[in-house]
Amino acid sequence: MKRSLLFAVLIAIISSPVCFGGSILTTGLPIGAEKLAVQGYYDSNSVAGNSASQFGPKIIYGLTSDIDVMAKLGMGSFAGVSASSYGFGGKYTFLRVEEKDPMDVAGYINYETFSVTGYSFSTTSFGAIMSKYLRTNFTLYGILGVVSAGYSYKDAAGKTVSLSSSALQFGIGAKYDIRKGISFLGELTTFSADGNAYTTFSLGAQFMI
């Protein structure tokens, strides 16, 4: 039974390049030079009929006035099997319009690696974020990027098997500033692979330190 479950989990992972990765949970606006933010996040989706979820902390640091770097940890489950992850990434804001119609555009890159019952896989994503402040404490943002995934596991003969795949990713999200330094984010990201569409719902709470 356990071997059958592990095989089913592996097949589901292979059929979904980023069953845990892909959430961005940030707008195009940087947090500011030498500033620090702590974010708690939760990701949930359904892959090949199985539920997947992940939650954990993320640290964001403003390296310069235009560049943010981040690191994250995660834990959760996939098809009832425990999973853990960690990741890091960066964001560069190359356009800021602060006058009549506030808007920001940034490029991002993220790397995450995951472990599920002895199998490991990693995702690298990069793309652009465009966000627009609505003057009512709401910021809407859109995501367009590419996700590339790699997998590694040992077959029945003990031989290491490596696989890779990639997909185009789209997303939309909103950030609401409760008060200065405290905000909530909600996001939907989706991509297509092997003729199927996969959508991830993400929530985040961010606190400036």
Q: CA angle at residue 55 from 31 to 38, to 5 degrees?
A: 25
The whole-number pLDDT of residue 76 equals 84
Residues 151-184 pLDDT 10s = 777 677 777 777 777 888 899 999 999 988 899 9
Closest alpha carbon to 33 in 93, 88, 103, 110: 93
Using an 8 Å Cβ cutoff, are 21 and 145 in contact? no
The whole-number pLDDT of residue 79 equals 66
Instruction: Report d(CA 38, CA 61) in Å as an integer.
Output: 9
Instruction: Report d(CA 24, CA 93) in Å as an integer.
Output: 15
pTM of the model: 0.82
The whole-number pLDDT of residue 149 equals 76
DSSP 59-86: EEEESSSSEEEEEEEEEEEETTEEEEEE
Mean model confidence pLDDT for the chain:
82
Q: CA angle at residue 195 from 191 to 197, to 5 degrees?
A: 35
Q: Among positive and negative, which fits the CA dihedral 117, 186, 195, 128? A: negative
Instruction: Report d(CA 126, CA 112) in Å as an integer.
Output: 12
Instruction: Say which residues have a Cβ less than 8 Å from residue 67's Cβ, sequence separation at least 6.
Output: 30, 90, 91, 92, 93
Residue position matching structure tokens 């709470």 = 205
Note the maximum CA span of the chain. Answer: 64
The whole-number pLDDT of residue 21 equals 54
**Could you tell me which CATH class the domain 2-208 is placed in?**
mainly beta
Low-confidence residues in the chain, pLDDT < 50 = 1-19
